[in-house]
Amino acid sequence: MELLSIDFLGQPLRIEGSMAGWQQLFWNNTLVSQLNAHADHNDKHLHEFELTNGDNVIKCSVEVNLSWQPFLVEYKATANDQLVADGSRNEKDIEQQTPQVIPKAERRFSLIGLASLGMKALKSAKLIKVVLASASLAAYSWLFSIQFALALLACLVFHEYGHIRAMKYFGMKTKGIYLIPFFGGLALSDEKINTRWQDVVISIMGPLFGLIMSIACVIAYWVTDNMFFAGLAVFNALLNLFNLLPILPLDGGHVLKSISFSMNSKVGIALCLSAAIGGVVLSYTLGLTLFGFLLIMGCVEILFEWKHRHQSHLLPLDRYGQIFSFAWYVGLVSSLIGIIWYFASTGDELLRLPMQILGT
148 and 246 part of one domain:
no
Are 346 and 206 in the same domain? yes
Please state which of the ranges 85-94, 225-234, 278-287 shows the lowest mean pLDDT.
Answer: 278-287
Distances in Å between the Cα of 289 and the Cα atoms of 251, 278, 294, 357 are 20, 14, 9, 9
**One domain, residues 276 and 292:** yes
Is the confidence at residue 105, as pLDDT, over 50?
A: no
Verify that 292 and 353 share a domain, yes or no. Answer: yes
Q: Percentage of the chain surpassing pLDDT 70?
A: 67
Mention every residue, 6+ apart, whose C-beta is less than 8 A from residue 2.
14, 15, 16, 94, 97, 99, 100, 194, 313
Instruction: Give pLDDT, residue 218.
Output: 93
Asked if residue 35 belongs to a domain, the reply is yes
Do 165 and 213 reside in the same domain of the chain? Answer: no
**pLDDT confidence bin for 221, thresholds 50/70/90:** very high
Same domain, 212 and 167: no
Backbone angles phi, psi at 35, to 5 degrees: -115, 125
At 17 the three-state DSSP class reads strand
Q: What is the CATH number of the domain that holds 69?
A: 2.40.128
**What range does the domain containing 63 cover?**
2-94
Q: What is the predicted pLDDT for the residue at 112?
A: 52
Q: Is 258 left (phi over 0), alpha (psi -120 to 50) or beta?
A: alpha
Residues 359, 154, 210, CA angle at the centre, nearest 5°? 50
Q: Is pTM beyond 0.75 here?
A: no
Residue where one domain finishes, among candidates 190, 209, 243: 190
Going by C-alpha positions, the residue among 183, 205, 242, 196 that lies closest to residue 94 is 196
113 falls within a domain: no
Count of structural domains within the chain: 3
Asked if residue 232 and residue 166 are part of one domain, the reply reads: no
- Per-residue pLDDT, 191: 78
Domain boundary among 190, 213, 246: 190
Q: How do residues 29-88 score in pLDDT, each as one tens digit? A: 899 898 887 655 667 888 999 988 777 889 999 999 888 777 888 999 999 889 999 999
Q: With 90 as the cut, is the pLDDT of residue 252 above it? A: no
